[in-house]
A and B are shown apart, each in its own frame.
Chain A
Amino acid sequence: MRIVQAKEITEAVAKLCWEACYYLPEDVLAGFKEAERTEASPIGKSILQQLLVNAEEAKVNHMPYCHDTGMAVVFIEIGQDVHVTGGNFLDCVQEGVRVGYRDGFLRKSVVGDPLLRVNTNDNTPAVVHTDIVPGDQVKITVLPKGGGSENMSAMKFLLPGEGAKGVKDFVLQTIKNAGGKACPPVVVGVGIGGSFDKVTNLAKHAVLREIGVHHPDPHIAELEAELLEEINNTGIGPQGLGGTSTALWVPIETYACHITALPVAVNIQCHAARKKTAIV
């Protein structure tokens, strides 16, 4: 058994919040560069060039790449041989978000009650997903999720017989409906299978996968490639102002499901495709 101090969790989460917002991941920057190289629309090409400059300025000046520093979604894998001491584990995670958004000068974009809508002024609470895994480490990933693209995400139960074609139609329909509202070029996280709750979780996890990495199952990898091509043939383009770079990547995650069901979820991630992981 390994002892982990609660304050180590707080410190790690805080640092991940601002680092994620300041420094776009290398795979996303590589995606921008490739999109800029191939983009057919002059407006689209100019937008991609400006996004690359924006990313560089954010990095050099340690400033948020995008002002919508999101609602923090925190994924934690806790090794079963870890014992956390010195505080309530989940409170430490929320405290990390509070400190990270305060000290990182990130925008506070969370309202406490969805109907009364009063800003909590510290960006808490975060959405926290925990998994218990083998080992004696704690792996923490912070995904600061912007509102514009999250708003365009969707979930549907298809009939089992609709199969891969039904999945493709639903994903494409969701992307067309989102258009420029989701701040393309986007990463399209897709979940297939599981239950009502599981499928959206799959789609969210898919967004975390590195751009350029396909699903290990060949038929899912093929579906990813086909969807990427078809999404980039919609014409939506950067910011929805026309072009050939609508999506940077289409990662799909799958799970077993009931004989009656074929659930599909699409979680759209805007071009501020931020994610940052640390191990405690």
Chain B
Amino acid sequence: MAEYRLKTPLTDEDIEMLRIGDSVLLTGTIYMARDAAHKRMVELLEANKPLPVNLKGEIIFYAGPCPPKPGQIIGPVAPTTAYRMDPYAPAMYEYGVKGTIGKGPRREMVKEACKEFKAISFAAIGGLSTILSRRITDVELVAYEDLGPEAIRRLEVEDFPLLVAYDSYGDDLYEQEIPKYENYQNNKGVVS
């Protein structure tokens, strides 16, 4: 469980180096998109049409922020539940997305896609919205303005805290960690 400070775009070497449980402080550009934007983008990919913004080699943050208060560039924001994007994720990874940021476990199809297309599924802490919004230094709305909080936004982030949940080797942090604490109380506090 190593700790890294990485800059975007993630290189193939970065991706090969990252293993589940590693902590990453990410600096650079990421793109915010969630349910409604993914539905539209995957429809475009299926029709062999270009996306409204080039996401090849990029990282997608599954999230939708609160509106900014006066003086802020963005309101609180943290990842939404990743599994809702699972049906879209393989197509996005195949297209060339190198990482996604969400919360919670994902399905087999995502694990396989990360392995096949050499990509990462990161976890950030759900609901850590006040803290995470302070790691965002710039915001630009780049597509689907009509979707309001679900529009695609380009973010500049600094030391954005992530965990590697699914790596490019097909490993799964959730599957690894949960059994250690199963029946912990009954086992008299021994981590299995």
**A binding-site residues for B, Cβ under 8 Å:** 40-41, 43-44, 47, 50-51, 53-54, 57-58, 61, 63-69, 105-109, 117, 119, 121, 147-148, 151, 179-183, 229, 232-237, 239-244, 270-272
Contacts and interface: CB of A to CB of B under 8 A. Distances in A.
A40 B184 CA distance: 8
Contacts, number: 163
Main SS class of interface, B: loop
A101 to B, nearest CB: 9
Interface string B178-192: 111111111001010
Contact of A63 (B130, B150, B189): B130
B131 interface: yes
Contacts of B181: 40-41, 44, 235, 237, 242-244
Contacts of B100: none
A262 to B, nearest CB: 28
Contacts of B170: none
Contacts of B123: 239, 241
A54 B80 contact: no
Interface stretch (B3-11, B65-73, B89-97): B65-73
A263 to B, nearest CB: 27
A232 B183 CA distance: 8
Interface residue range, chain B: 35 or more
Nearest to A106: B66
Contacts of B127: 51, 54, 65-66, 68, 183, 270-272
Nearest to B191: A40
B52 interface: no
Interface of B: 21, 36, 63-69, 75-78, 80-81, 83, 103-105, 123, 125-131, 133, 147-150, 163, 173-174, 176-186, 189, 191
12 contacts: A47-B125, A53-B131, A64-B75, A67-B78, A105-B69, A107-B67, A181-B81, A233-B184, A235-B181, A240-B105, A241-B178, A270-B127
Contacts of A237: 177-178, 181
A219 to B, nearest CB: 22
A66 B129 contact: yes
Given A67-B129, A233-B183, A235-B183, A183 B103 contact: yes
Contacts of A243: 177, 181
A195 to B, nearest CB: 30
A180 B148 contact: no
B177 A64 contact: no
A99 B63 CA distance: 24
Contacts of B186: 233
Given A54-B127, A67-B63, A233-B186, A239 B103 contact: yes
Given A58-B130, A64-B75, A239-B103, A51 B125 contact: yes
Contacts of A44: 181
A58 B148 contact: no
A260 to B, nearest CB: 35
A65 B189 contact: no
A109 B182 CA distance: 35
Given A235-B177, A242-B174, 14 more contacts: A54-B127, A58-B129, A63-B130, A64-B66, A64-B76, A67-B66, A105-B67, A105-B68, A105-B69, A147-B80, A180-B103, A236-B178, A243-B177, A272-B127
Contacts of A119: 147-150
A241 B184 contact: no
Nearest to A109: B149
